[in-house]
Copies of this chain bind each other. A is one copy, B any other.
Amino acid sequence: MADVAREAGVSVATVSKVVNGRYGVAQSTLDRVQQVIADLGYEASLGASSLRSHRTNVLGILVAEFEPFSTELLKGASSAITQTGYELLAYSGGARGADVGWERRYLSRLGGTLIDGAIIVTPTVVDASNGIPVVAVDPHTGPSGLPTVDSDNFAGAVMATQYLLALGHRRISLVGGRPDLESARLREAGFRSAMADAGLDVDESLVVIGGYRPETADQPARELLTRPDRPTAVFAANDLSAIRTIEVAREIGLRVPDDLSVVGFDNVPESALCDPPLTTINQPLRDIGAQALRLLVDLLQGTDTPTHVRLPTALVERASCRALV
């Protein structure tokens, strides 16, 4: 900015005014400064300007890691932001393991200055925020003090289970998520509810913890499928563990869906890419991202907003299940 000022023969304050469109600049000065800015390709440093002005016009979306789930949300947020005049900054640490409390860390790091508001994706600790407006997407402890967007995990799990039941399956296994997470609990509850409604007892030995990640789902799935009385169907609490279950089945020599039916949850794009394409429960991930962004913008504008948006889930039938004869 000093360069621009020198080149244009004005003070940095004037350049700042030009950059920020403040009043009190003569037309001739304005033109000249803008010309210099264009020539030099100058652009104000986000770090510096935000430090001083506490307003950046940038919205943050904070995620633990860029994986299929969060990037779908990102696509939704990105499409929703076009009309708003804000820019979007997505931030993630290196996903170095169980870094509990990342959401707070990121929020403090970026919140005070760099971003005007934030969307936090699947946070585990959702406490009062850092001064800037925050909306939580799919928080792992259920709706909290924060405005929240999520989808109907319970209903989705019921649908998945009922689908398998309707296909004639009775020995149905649940490869669950992480018991500490609200979404995982709801999916398990939905599974149990549907089983109960069908008058079926849940064989507890068929209920295992998959942990939502391929690595953590591998071993439980393997044990399940190598049992002599293995299940005829698996409801996995998310797509990534469902996909790993299919891979494990193949390694063991089981064919999906002939020898084993598998239903996932999330409907990340990867679920359609696997072989066979995965039957799963759709979460409208992009919508969720878009809604979260709109909610955040409303919050920033002081508009009265709903504090909790819940979107519907739906069954997506592909090719990983078959009817029992």
Whether A92 contacts B88 by the Cβ 8 Å rule is: yes
With an 8 A cutoff between CB atoms, is A179 at the interface?
A: no
User: Which residues of chain B have C-beta atoms less than 8 A from A270's C-beta?
Assistant: 269
Whether B88 contacts A46 by the Cβ 8 Å rule is: no
Nearest B residue to A107 via CB reads B43
| Selected contact of A78 from candidates B66, B77, B84, B88, CB within 8 Å | B66
A residues 69-120 in Cβ contact with B at 8 Å: 71, 74-75, 77-78, 81-96, 104-105, 108-110, 112-114
Whether B50 contacts A47 by the Cβ 8 Å rule is: yes
| Selected contact of A45 from candidates B44, B86, B88, B108, CB within 8 Å | B108
Whether B71 contacts A75 by the Cβ 8 Å rule is: yes
With an 8 A cutoff between CB atoms, is A273 at the interface?
A: yes
A231 nearest CB across to chain B (Å): 27
With an 8 A cutoff between CB atoms, is A39 at the interface?
A: no
With an 8 A cutoff between CB atoms, is A51 at the interface?
A: yes
Nearest B residue to A84 via CB reads B94
A102 nearest CB across to chain B (Å): 10
Nearest B residue to A105 via CB reads B43
- For A, the interface residue count at a CB cutoff of 8 angstroms equals 48
What does DSSP make chain A's interface, helix, strand, loop or mixed?
Answer: mixed
User: Which residues of chain B have C-beta atoms less than 8 A from A95's C-beta?
Assistant: 78, 82
A residues 137-162 in Cβ contact with B at 8 Å: none
| Selected contact of A94 from candidates B75, B81, B104, CB within 8 Å | B81
A103 nearest CB across to chain B (Å): 11
Copy number of this protein in the oligomer?
Answer: 2
User: Which residues of chain B have C-beta atoms less than 8 A from A114's C-beta?
Assistant: 45-47, 114
A120 nearest CB across to chain B (Å): 14
Whether A65 contacts B78 by the Cβ 8 Å rule is: yes
Nearest B residue to A274 via CB reads B272
| Complex-state Cα separation, A65 to B74, whole angstroms | 10
User: Which residues of chain B have C-beta atoms less than 8 A from A93's C-beta?
Assistant: 87-88
Given A67-B75, A109-B46, are A89 and B91 also a contact pair (CB < 8 Å)?
yes
User: Which residues of chain B have C-beta atoms less than 8 A from A48's C-beta?
Assistant: 47, 51, 112-113
Known contacts A41-B108, A269-B270; can you find 17 more A-B pairs with CB under 8 A? A41-B104, A45-B108, A47-B47, A47-B113, A48-B51, A51-B51, A66-B90, A74-B74, A74-B90, A81-B94, A82-B95, A84-B94, A85-B94, A88-B93, A89-B89, A89-B90, A269-B273
Whether A67 contacts B71 by the Cβ 8 Å rule is: no
User: Which residues of chain B have C-beta atoms less than 8 A from A104's C-beta?
Assistant: 41, 43
A210 nearest CB across to chain B (Å): 20
With an 8 A cutoff between CB atoms, is A68 at the interface?
A: yes
Given A105-B43, A108-B45, A269-B273, are A87 and B94 also a contact pair (CB < 8 Å)?
yes
Nearest B residue to A64 via CB reads B78
User: Which residues of chain B have C-beta atoms less than 8 A from A42's C-beta?
Assistant: 108
Whether B110 contacts A94 by the Cβ 8 Å rule is: no
User: Which residues of chain B have C-beta atoms less than 8 A from A87's C-beta?
Assistant: 91-94
A262 nearest CB across to chain B (Å): 17
| Complex-state Cα separation, A87 to B63, whole angstroms | 11
